[in-house]
Structure 1
Amino acid sequence: MSAPADRAGVTDAPGRRRRRALRPATLAIGAAWVACVGVLLALGVWQVERRAWKLDLIDRVEQRVHADAVPAPGPAAWPAINRADDEYRRVTASGRFLHDRETLVQALTVEGPGYWVVTPLQTADGVLLINRGFVPSERRDAASRAAGNPDGPAAVAGLLRISEPGGGFLRHNDPAANRWYSRDVAAIAAARGLPGVAPFFIDADATPNPGGYPVGGLTVIAFPNNHLVYALTWFTLALMLAGAGLQRLRRGRGEAGAAAARDAEWDHRRQSRRGHEASPL
């Protein structure tokens, strides 16, 4: 007469074993959940730090752009030139333009599509590449803007810029075909046979050139600063994931409580049946 009790115990045992087997998996999922929240929070903090860095960079560049111009760095300083400390510094230089070795680099400006005219300036210390400014496509030929190409000594003022190696977006410079999409100092110097070239170029300021071309002073100084939006996005995702995890945890506890109640009820029924079966007739 013990079969019903035994069947009750057998029926209940798999449920308990299944719940015990699920505990390691539940812990693993919980750990992964916490790790994901931690990663999202770390990304948010990183974006906050990036925003502080970007604001500091913008402030430093603003100070450089509005500072008094200084002579362009000489050969002794060239190895130390870098983007963080030197780009957009106002500089001056003097020498003689080598117009026969100018390079046209494709450009899209507020004046429309056309070319940057990058011309070597032979100075007493070496060669500087000068982005003299913009010309439209119909002024591509140097003969069409001869008035703006002085033969004598020339003085230049503008902003120091760091080389742009490789090319533009999805377009690579092709020196052999004389197609240029970026102001790659080293590649332009090699293509034009220029020794002793500075590792930077200078964007000429808006001082008018005779004949009106090239048009200088078109340097765009803009630093995308979306880091606050990115930070808020990461923090929001972390909050949503943490909230979903807590909700799932509460649900799991409720389910565990219900399962424990069912186990207790099964135990109670089994014990009652055993007691009934053991009682004398």
Structure 2
Amino acid sequence: MVLAVAAMLGLGTWQVQRLAWKTDLIEQRAASLAADPVALPVFGPATTPEELAEWSFRRVRMTGHFRHDKELYQAAKSLNGNSGYHILTPFERTDLPEGAAQTVLVSRGWVPLDHKDPATRAAGQIPGEVTVTGVARVPRTTAWVVPDNRPSENFWFTIDPKVMGDFVGETLAPVYVEADATPIPGDLPKGGQTRSELPNDHLQYAITWYALAISLIVIYVVYRRRH
């Protein structure tokens, strides 16, 4: 009984600590998304994972031109219950210091299944120099439940700048940008698809563990009194 109660109290305390961590993370993310866009820096080979993480979910802007001829398609995406794709397009920046170069993958937004072909949304294939605003994202580690990418078919489930860069013949930045909902001609792709919500159930978990510990103590006391 002592060991079980100690374990339950320990788990409850751990969930309280997780609650504080998650609450702080949610507040930081909300502040980043509410801030004005800033210029996305140039990331090089020496950029550390910690430095990349600092840019996750930050609003950014950059100027350049899209490489529409190297479009990629991320599958299994839905909008309001409708199936479709996210359009991923390499973006060559022109707003960098002299001698610097960077191509960033931009997730431009959602299109329905019958608009995968660029010819069906030609108005949205914006030519020339444009300024993109959106949210910087750091690619996540692939979960075991997510199917493998199929590069030979230009069919992707997860964003992998290294493999995608090899596919399109470009060196892509280690972060990508999800375009915001700024209107574009033809209204496709539909930007603003960033999902920033974080589940925060740690308080319920903590209460559950503490309640189990108290229940076990009560059961033990009742048992001892009856004997």
Scaled by the length of structure 2, the TM-score of the pair is 0.88
Question: Counterpart of 2:19?
Answer: 51
Q: Report the alpha carbon displacement of residue 182 of structure 1 after superposing the two structures with TM.
A: 2.0
> Cα deviation per residue 1:46-88 (whole Å; 9 max; x = unaligned)?
11111111111111111111111100121258434344x3221
Equivalent positions of 1:132-171 (< 5 A) are: 132-166=108-142, 169-171=145-147
> Please, which runs of 5 or more residues in structure 2 have no aligned partner?
95-100
Equivalent positions of 1:129-278 (< 5 A) are: 129-166=105-142, 169-195=145-171, 197-251=172-226, 254=227
Equivalent positions of 1:85-164 (< 5 A) are: 85-106=54-75, 107-110=77-80, 112-124=82-94, 125-164=101-140
Contact 2:67 2:91 in 1 (8 A): yes
**DSSP-derived class of the 1:198 partner:** strand
Change (3 A) 1:115 1:167: farther
- Give the number of the structure with larger relative contact order, counting CA–CA contacts within 8 Å between residues 6 or more apart: 2
**DSSP-derived class of the 1:171 partner:** coil
Structure with greater Cα Rg:
1
> Please, which runs of 5 or more residues in structure 1 have no aligned partner?
1-32, 255-281
Contact 2:134 2:179 in 1 (8 A): yes
Give distance in 2, aligned partners of 1:67 and 1:170.
Answer: 32
Give distance in 1, aligned partners of 2:146 and 2:199.
Answer: 20
Q: Report the alpha carbon displacement of residue 101 of structure 1 after superposing the two structures with TM.
A: 1.0
Question: Counterpart of 1:60?
Answer: 28
> Which runs of structure 1 show a deviation greater than 6 angstroms over 4 or more consecutive aligned residues?
none
Scaled by the length of structure 1, the TM-score of the pair is 0.72
What percentage of residue pairs aligned between the two structures are identical? 36
Contact 1:51 1:228 in 2 (8 A): yes
Contact 2:43 2:174 in 1 (8 A): no
Kindly indicate which of the two structures has a greater share of residues assigned to helix. Answer: 1
**DSSP-derived class of the 1:44 partner:** helix
Count matched residues: 218
Contact 1:165 1:183 in 2 (8 A): no
Contact 1:165 1:184 in 2 (8 A): no
Q: Report the alpha carbon displacement of residue 151 of structure 1 after superposing the two structures with TM.
A: 2.4
Give distance in 2, aligned partners of 1:247 and 1:220.
Answer: 50
